[in-house]
Amino acid sequence: MSVQEPLRLHIGGEQTKPGWKIVNIQSGPGVDYVADCTDLHAFADESVDEIYASHVLEHLGYMEKLPRALAEFHRVLKKDGCARISVPDLDTVCQLFLEAHGRVNDRILLMRMLFGGQTDPYDFHYVGLSFDLLGELLGNAGFVRVQRVSEFGLFEDTSEQRFNDTLISLNVVAHKP
Yes or no: say if 146 and 62 are a contact pair by the CB < 8 Å rule: no
Instruction: For residue range 6-56, list pLDDT tens digits in order.
Output: 999 999 999 999 999 999 999 999 999 999 999 999 999 999 999 999 999
Which segments in the chain show pLDDT lower than 70?
Answer: 1-3
Q: For the chain, give the number of residues.
A: 177
Q: Read off the pTM.
A: 0.94
Handedness of CA 151, 153, 154, 158 (dihedral sign): positive
Hey, is 105 helix, strand or coil?
Answer: helix
Hey, is 59 helix, strand or coil?
Answer: helix
Handedness of CA 142, 172, 39, 47 (dihedral sign): negative
Structure confidence at residue 2 (pLDDT): 57
Written out in words, the top-level CATH class of the domain with range 8-175 is: alpha beta
Q: Give the DSSP H/E element, type plus range, for residue 52.
A: strand 48-54
